[in-house]
Every structure is written in C-alpha cells, then in structure tokens.
Amino acid sequence: MRLNPEQARQIRDKERGLSRPHPLLPQTGTRKHREIRFAKLPPGQVERAKGLLERLDGLDVAAGALPNSVAVWYEIEDHTFEQLEEALRQEGFHLECSLYAKLIRALVYYSEDTQLRNMHGPQRLLKKSHEVYSKAWEHHPHGDHDDTPPELRVDR
C-alpha cells in the first residue's frame, strides 16, 4: 500500500500526539492548529520561517499540507495567529494575499481575539443578575413610579 504525503503526515502526527484537524474548522479548547501560507515568491520562505518558528516556546511546527505552508500548534494564551503572522511579516516574509486567504485570516483573527476576551472577561453571576437589574430599575427615574404616599392616593 502506497501512502500519499497527507496520509503519511496524519500517521506521523498521530504517533507524536499531534492532531491535525483542518486548520479552518472550528476548534474547541485553547489549543489551536493553523497553517501559515506563504506567497510563492521569493523561494525558500517556508524553510526559513520554519526555522524561526521552531525557536519559539510553546509552538509546535511541522510541514504544512500545501508545499508553501507551515503547520503550527499553539495555546491561544501563548500565541495568536495574528501575532505569528505579524512577526513573520516584520521579518520580511511574504504571506499569501489572495482574497480567500485574506477572508480566512480575518475570520481566524476575530475568533481568536473574541475567545481571548471571553476567557479574561468577568464572569457573570447568573443567580443574582435579576437582582442587579431590579435594583437599578428601582433607582432609575421612570414613569412607573408614584411618590404620593399610599394613604393619599385616590382610587379611580
């Protein structure tokens, strides 16, 4: 039986304990798998980028599914896709700039940013939330409040 490169990568990653879901599928939890895609020119970018990224702590790097890509695994609290790509751009790397790549990039940036904000945001106390709104309503001037004492009110 002959394996294609993707099947061989899946077997290798399974042995190493790395899962390789499609990088664009929703990924639960804080561990992310993404693929950084590079422009075809200048040549040699993938190897140089892989060498640079392997030096970062908390980042697992492997060959990507496509010839001009690098697969990365990271915890979202340590790295974000946007930070990794921005660091590579500052080092002079040219990333893929097709419309598809730009849309996917924006979606991933947004979803990771939202997940980070939700992780670090204050937790809401669900059992007491109605009391907070009730107290605020009582102290807020509105048309449903009558300051006339009950004994002076006339029923009509």
SS3 content of the chain, % helix, strand, coil (to 5): 45, 15, 45
pLDDT at 21: 63
DSSP state of 74: E
Query: Which residues 6+ apart lie within 8 Å of 84 measured at CB?
Result: 34, 36, 53, 59, 72, 74
pLDDT at 45: 96
Per-residue pLDDT tens for 79-102? 999 999 999 999 999 999 999 999
Q: Where are the domains of the chain?
A: 5-121
pLDDT category, 11, cuts 50, 70, 90? confident
Contact 81, 108 (CB under 8 A): yes
pLDDT at 28: 75
- What pTM was computed for the model? 0.66
For residue 27, give the nearest of 76, 100, 92 by alpha carbon: 76
Task: Give me the mean pLDDT over the 125-140 stretch.
Answer: 71
DSSP state of 148: S
Which long-range CB contacts under 8 A does 29-32 form with residues at least 24 apart? 30/75, 30/76, 30/77, 30/115, 30/119, 31/73, 31/74, 31/75, 31/76, 32/73, 32/74, 32/75, 32/76, 32/81, 32/112
pLDDT category, 136, cuts 50, 70, 90? confident
CATH of 5-121, one of 1.10.287.70, 3.30.70.260, 3.30.70.100, 1.50.10.20: 3.30.70.100
Per-residue pLDDT tens for 34-77? 999 999 999 999 999 999 999 999 999 999 888 999 999 999 99
Query: Which residues 6+ apart lie within 8 Å of 16 measured at CB?
Result: none
pLDDT at 23: 63
Q: Which residue has the higher pLDDT, 15 or 48?
A: 48
pLDDT at 147: 76
- Kindly calculate the radius of gyration of the chain based on its CA atoms and give it in whole angstroms: 26
Computed over every residue of the chain, the mean pLDDT equals 84
